[in-house]
């Protein structure tokens, strides 16, 4: 190719195609993930930013739920098992459940719930705090919670957060698509 302008045009065109192609499968940034300051089942303080650098999955549930929460935890346990097979659990990926019923979800109740569901605390925290603090954490993520007598009506969403603390995707918790979530998590780990 002797024409330098044609050569430059083809080179620039190729670079543009490469750049456009590289970004098309990348998950968009939806919003910054709100930091929260709660406590684990042993009463130890936990901040969301403690796990910066790791890909995180955040859900809001309560232990007495009889509707979507058990299904959400079921899928998250399956995800935990897959992440362990990939050697990502705890080291590169971290899971969170936050109760919005801290009056009933005491530390002892949470420990029993985690044991019952085989939730591994090496890469999974089930958090609580005051009604105000857990309510604020839910509201900051955009989760709607309404207490109705002795029960709650609430949003069924899980939030995927990258290592920089940005929400990249949300899922329906009770119908979690494991291959999709696992792929998304691995993509974010490799970003």
Q: Is residue 174 part of a domain?
A: yes
Q: Is residue 21 part of a domain?
A: no
Distance CA(19)–CA(181), nearest Å, equals: 25
Range of the domain at 65: 28-189
Structure tokens at 122: 């090496």
CA dihedral (92, 76, 47, 106) in degrees, to 10, reads -150
Q: Is residue 10 part of a domain?
A: no
pLDDT at 54: 98
Distance CA(70)–CA(117), nearest Å, equals: 9
Angle between helices 107-117 and 68-85 (to 10 degrees): 60
Q: Is residue 14 part of a domain?
A: no
CATH of the domain at 52: 3.40.30.10
Q: Is residue 158 part of a domain?
A: yes
What 3-state class would DSSP assign to 54?
A: coil
Q: Is residue 22 part of a domain?
A: no
pLDDT at 146: 85
Total domain count, the chain: 1
Q: Is residue 72 part of a domain?
A: yes
pLDDT at 24: 53
Q: Is residue 11 part of a domain?
A: no
Taking only the tens of pLDDT, the chain with its 191 residues reads 554 443 434 333 433 433 344 445 799 999 999 999 999 999 999 999 999 999 999 999 999 999 999 999 999 999 999 999 999 999 999 999 999 899 999 999 999 999 999 999 999 999 999 999 999 999 999 998 888 887 888 889 999 999 999 999 999 999 999 999 999 999 999 99
């Amino acid at each position: 190719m002797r024409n330098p302008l044609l050569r430059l045009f083809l080179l620039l065109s190729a670079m543009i195609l490469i750049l456009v192609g590289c970004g098309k499968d990348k998950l968009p940034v939806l919003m910054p993930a709100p930091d929260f300051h709660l406590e684990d089942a042993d009463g130890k303080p936990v901040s969301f930013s403690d796990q910066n650098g790791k890909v995180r999955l955040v859900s809001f549930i309560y232990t007495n739920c009889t509707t979507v929460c058990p299904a959400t935890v079921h899928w998250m346990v399956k995800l935990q098992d897959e992440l362990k097979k990939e050697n990502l659990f705890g080291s590169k990926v971290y899971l969170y459940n936050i109760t919005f019923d801290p009056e009933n979800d005491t530390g002892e109740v949470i420990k029993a719930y985690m044991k019952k569901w085989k939730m591994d605390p090496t890469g999974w925290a089930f958090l609580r705090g005051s009604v105000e603090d857990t309510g604020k954490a839910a509201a900051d993520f955009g989760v709607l919670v309404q207490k109705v007598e002795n029960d709650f009506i609430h949003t069924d969403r899980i939030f995927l957060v990258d290592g920089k603390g940005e929400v990249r995707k949300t899922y329906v918790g009770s119908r979690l698509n494991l291959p999709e979530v696992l792929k998304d998590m691995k993509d974010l780990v490799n970003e």
